[in-house]
Amino acid sequence: MNAESSEELQSVAVELAAASSTEILRWALARYSGSIVAACSFGGPSGMVLLDQLLELDRSVPVFYLDTGLLHEETYAHIQAVSARYEIAPIAVQAPLTLERQASLYGERLWERDPDRCCELRKVEAQRTFLRPYRAWISGIRRDQTASRAQTPVVEWDRRFDLVKINPLAHWDERTIWSYIVERNVPYNPLHDDGFSSLGCLPCTAPSITGDARSGRWPGHSKTECGLHQA
Ligand code: SF4
């Protein structure tokens, strides 16, 4: 167990529980300066708020997204537009297997038969390798998004990836996220205007029926997570 997984980290989470997202980011940027990275999927509104707040504080932190090779054209165009607007160069973290190699090893359209395996190959493994040099990563997940995220602390030890995870927006909700976006004219994925609550890979994303934050992901499967945010 890493020293950072100790009681100290848990007590920091308690101390920062009522802090604003900006205060949490400030703490994390100071503590893990030079060894912290931020995730932004460009497929949900929370990531855009996180990006906007982070760049106000520190433009030197690397920003990454998982490029599975299967994102919507609109998402790729959105990444380009956001990069130009904020003058940043997000890192496209790619899966160790090309889509062709995956198909030859596991068969065509693995996502239809075994989406957990597909996410492990195209997302989790890629992120694990990418995060290895860092001490902390920042995520935009929120407690209101799914039942499995309901207990998300603002700071935690990420056992899956073996580093500290910062969740500055854990206590935000869908309404406050969109209020921030509107008030600050923050860019967002245009597919949200077509009924998509959350954008993942094209084959595994449908327009939302319920309007819930994660609704429309993996339709027809009980799956609700990629595996990136599970303990
Ligand atoms: S979201 Fe779908 S296509 Fe993308 S990695 Fe997961 S299972 Fe594969």
Query: What is the average pLDDT score of the chain?
Result: 92
- Residue 1, pLDDT score: 46
Q: Pick the catalytic residue: 40, 119, 204, 226?
A: 226
Report how far ligand 1's centroid is from the alpha carbon of 60 (Å).
30
For residue 95, the ligand 1 atom closest to its alpha carbon is 5
Write down the pLDDT at residue 214: 63
* Phi and psi torsions of 80, nearest 5°: -65, -45
Look at residue 24 and tell me if it is in a domain. yes
Whether the per-residue pLDDT at 151 is higher than 60: the answer is yes
Asked about 40 being catalytic, the answer comes back as: no
Whole-number Å distance, alpha carbon 174 to ligand 1 midpoint, is 24
Average pLDDT over residues 138-157: 93
Confirm whether 228 is domain-assigned: no
Q: For 99-144, how does the pLDDT look when each residue is reduced to its tens digit (9 = 90+)?
A: 999 999 999 999 999 999 999 999 999 999 999 999 999 999 999 9
For the chain, the domain total comes to 1
- pLDDT of 34-93, one tens digit each? 999 999 999 999 999 999 999 999 999 999 999 999 999 999 999 999 999 999 999 999
What are the residues whose beta carbons fall under 8 Å from the beta carbon of 173, sequence distance 6 or more?
142, 144
Cβ count within 10 A of residue 31:
16
39 Cα: distance to centroid of ligand 1 (angstroms): 17
* Residue whose CB lies within 8 A of the most ligand 1 atoms, among 93, 111, 202, for a mutation test: 111
State the residue range of the domain holding 115.
3-204
Cβ–ligand 1 distance for 70 under 6 Å, the answer: yes
Percent of the chain residues past pLDDT 70, beyond the cut: 94
**Residue 224 included in any domain:** no
- Domain-located, residue 83: yes
Ligand 1 binding pocket includes 111 (Cβ within 6 Å): yes
Supply the pLDDT for residue 2: 56
What average pLDDT does this structure show over 225-230?
Answer: 75
Nearest 5 degrees, angle CA 120-CA 151-CA 231? 30
* pLDDT higher than threshold 50 for residue 26: yes
End-to-end CA separation in angstroms for the chain: 14
Note whether residue 108 is domain-resident.
yes
Instruction: Please indicate, yes or no, if residue 39 is contained in any of the structural domains.
Output: yes
Measuring from atom 1 of ligand 1, which residue has the nearest CA? 201
Q: Is residue 226 part of a domain?
A: no
Q: What is the pLDDT of residues 1-12, one digit of tens each?
A: 455 766 889 999
Q: Distance, CA 118 to ligand 1 centroid (Å)?
A: 5
Task: Residue 121: give its domain's CATH number.
Answer: 3.40.50.620
Domain-embedded: residue 213: no
